[in-house]
Every structure is written in C-alpha cells, then in structure tokens.
Chain A
Amino acid sequence: MKQNFLFQASNISKYYGQNIGCKNVSLDINPGEVLGIVGESGSGKSTLLNCIYGNLEVDEGDIFLNDKSKTILNFTKISEPKLRLIQRSDLAFVHQNPRDGLRMNISAGGNIGERLMAIGHRNYGEIREIAANWLEKVEIDVSRIDDKPSTFSGGMQQRLQIARNLVTRPRLIFMDEPTGGLDVSVQAKILDLLRNLVRELGIAAVIVTHDLAVVRLLADRIIVMQNGNVIEAGLCDQVLDDPQHKYSQLLVSSVLQV
C-alpha cells in the first residue's frame, strides 16, 4: 500500500439478495483529489458510495482510511462507534436531498453547530461565530442563522448541508448527486463553491452524478459503472472525450449539446 494515499477500497461487492449492488470495485484516493462516479440510474453508483462511506455493510472487500494521525483503519474491522466517529470527523457525506442531511427542526446555525459539538466544541459563542462564518462562506445571509432550514429554498438548503459537512474540516467528502434537483443557476454556484473549497482546504471528494458536465468541471478522474461493475476508469477528460468501452461511448454520446 502506498504511503501517501488517503482512502482505498479494494474489491468491494454488495449484493441485494440475488441482485448485484456493486461487484468487485476498487478505487483509491489521494489527498485533494476529486473522483467522479458516473453511470445511469441503477448502475450501482449510490450503493458503492454508501458502502465505502460505511453506511452499508459490504459483503466482500476492504475499506482503508489513512486517518489524521496516519493510522490505517480498516472499516470492516473497526467498532461501530469508532466508525461513526470517523464518519463525523475525517469523512463527510452530502446527500442529494438536503432534507436527508439536515435536521429540519433546528436552526441553520444549530445545524452547523451540532457537528462542532459532536467533535468536542463546547463554547457557545465560539460555535455561533464559526457557524456564522460558514453561512457566509456558502453565501447564506447571516441574518438567517436562527431560521429553520425548512424556510430555506432548495439551493440554500443544499449549501447549508455543505456547510454542516465541511465545518469539521473532513479530509474526504462523499457527495451523492450534490447538484441534482437544483435550478441550473444554483448548480453553477454550488459547483464553484465546491471547487474552491476543495482547492482551498485541500479536501478530497468522491462525487456520484449522472451529469457528465458536472464531472467534467469537478473531477480529476472518473469511473464509469454499469450493472454494478466498473467498466471504465481513467483521466476525466480522456474517458469523456475518447471512451473505450461500448457503454461509456453510449453514455457520452447521449448527452444533449447546449
């Protein structure tokens, strides 16, 4: 295993009864890298993402994280509480639907602050200040800090979810269709936000999307999935501009040109 890797999943398989969720998938991520996972609905993208985040138990394979203290952890071997702690500190997960990633009945500031408290912050004034800073970073008016996310638009909710996830300075963030279901003008704003955060904070990301324009702008490398299998992997522009597999060619040639 290489020294500088951040995250590695090897030979991951997940079955739903007789059906394949994903099969024999391996991937690795270095600090600061963005990996895109593309494929049509039902290709196993979200299953894979949930497996490697530790949300779904895998049937086969190993998942390794080189944690903040340079200890290599195997997700399939560590205790449940330890895994939950890692998920809240080193890792983060942004859901497609912000309602799945936010607490809708507590304030925007509370949504961010809760994550800080979970990793040991106790000073109320400080927590509020950090929360306000993050609202500003994701371009939500600080005057909305005490409002509940249920009063926010979809785009604002998504930005709040990103703030809630990034406030603990994770080193790897998993995103499931982060711009899906959003207005295109809001999508652009979120793409720009993600790119800058990834670069400024050196965060690595795994992004699941069916939007090839989004991966082209965000990802360094991509993997293409079909029926639970990885059928092609490589440099983002190479896979999009000169796909080698029959299915990747179909996927790329099916995009409408704007």
Chain B
Amino acid sequence: MIQIKNLNKSFLLYNQNDTNINVFKNINFRVNKGEVVALTGNSGTGKSTLLKLIYGSYVISKGDVLISDINIRKSSPRDILKLRKNKLGYVSQFLRVVPRVPTIDVVIEPLLEIGCEKKIALKKAQEILERLNIPKNLWNLSPLTFSGGEQQRVNIARGFIHNYPYLLLDEPTASLDQNNKNVVLDLIEKAKLNGSAIIGIFHDETARNKVATREVNLENL
C-alpha cells in the first residue's frame, strides 16, 4: 500500500530572488494493492512532482509518504536505494543511460541489481523487448540513438522487467502509436492483476480510462 498523508511541497529558489513556489498542500490519498490511481489536473499542478516525492528524488516539505511500512521522509539514502532496487519502480519520460551501452544491457540492469543470473535476465529482456516491438537488430545498439517512442519503450521495458510491487508511471504511453500503447496498457493491467500498487500520469484519456481504477485530481485537493 502507498499512503500519502498531508503532503506539502514547495521549492525555495535561492538564486532566483529567493522565490518560493508552493506546488501543493495537504495531499491525502492511498493506493491499495491491485489498484491503478491516475493523477489528473492541468500542467503545473504537481503530478510529476508528486511521483518524484514518492520516489525520493524530491525532498518532502511537510507530511509523509508511506510505502508499506517505510516512511520515505525518514528513510536514509541507503534505505531508499534498497527500496528502489527491490520494490519501487519508476518509469520516467526521459531515458538516462551511459552512452554507448547496448539496449539489452540497459534493460537487464534492474535484474542484475537484485542478483538475478545474467542468462535468465537476458531471456526476460528479450521477451519484453519483443513484446514492445523493439526490432531485434536494435538490441545491441545504444538506445540514445533511438526515436522518442523507442526510447520510451526501453524505459518501459526496464520498469516492467522486474515485478515491482509499487510502480510509478510518468506518461508511459505519451509518444507511442496505438499498437504499442495497447502493449503498455496490457503490461500495466498485468502488473495490476499481480497485485502491484500503481500511480500513474496519463494525459491520454482513453488510456487512462482503460487501466485506472480511480482518479486523484490534484486541483481539487
């Protein structure tokens, strides 16, 4: 279960005349196992910010984020890294990888991190890359040379190769064609049936309606 309690986020920008930006105040909701909660609201309401707070990339100003019994605000960097490695997945809109590393190696990394045997990891990576329609002749090339849609699918492959019980998705279907969009929605559906607790941002309404069990609108909170 993911629980958001009285969460506040503001940014204090020292080098821009000490501007204080209040992103949101007093956010409360919870996501149970097997639920997909879609965050909605206009651009700038803090949807991506909320995901980054849950993931530990942003510092919580006030309130708490609980992932099962782990309190993110009180966790040490090591605890957060351990949580990410084992339980908490995040699919961002941007691919950040070491240049010149082949796609297949980028995709197996989360499995190697948890000590999975390379042979098994490679097999799983092949399966998911095939499923996401990444042509086989690209697997040994760096994804940095790929199109936006292909890069996004590499990110998705990384996010779904391990069955994370908690999953954060930032626009997972944004630059995909209909066919690949459906593949991704199927992957989300499968994770949901597996009992993952998922929070996602889906600008595409049909995609959202298809997988979301509930919506949380950040403007109404």
Contact = CB atoms under 8 A, between A and B. Distances in A.
Specify whether A and B are partners.
Answer: yes
Interface residues of B, number: 21
A237 B57 contact: yes
Contacts of B221: none
Interface stretch (B26-34, B94-102, B212-220): B94-102
A244 B59 contact: yes
B116 interface: no
Nearest to A28: B78
A59 to B, nearest CB: 28
Interface string B97-109: 1111100000000
Nearest to B102: A192
Size bin of chain A's contact surface: 20 to 34
Nearest to A195: B98
B57 A241 contact: yes
Main DSSP-derived SS at the A contact region = helix
Interface stretch (B9-17, B130-138, B173-181, B200-208): B9-17
Contacts of B58: 238, 241-242
Contacts, number: 52
Contacts of B59: 238, 242, 244
Contacts of A221: 77-78
Contacts of A238: 56-59, 77
B99 to A, nearest CB: 4
A77 interface: no
Contacts of A217: 96-98
Contacts of A191: 98-99
Nearest to B59: A242
Given A221-B78, A235-B56, A246-B14, 13 more contacts: A185-B100, A191-B99, A192-B98, A199-B112, A199-B113, A221-B77, A234-B77, A235-B77, A238-B56, A238-B58, A238-B77, A246-B15, A253-B15
Lowest 9 CB-CB distances: which A-B pairs, in order? A188-B99, A246-B14, A235-B77, A242-B58, A188-B100, A237-B57, A221-B77, A192-B98, A241-B57
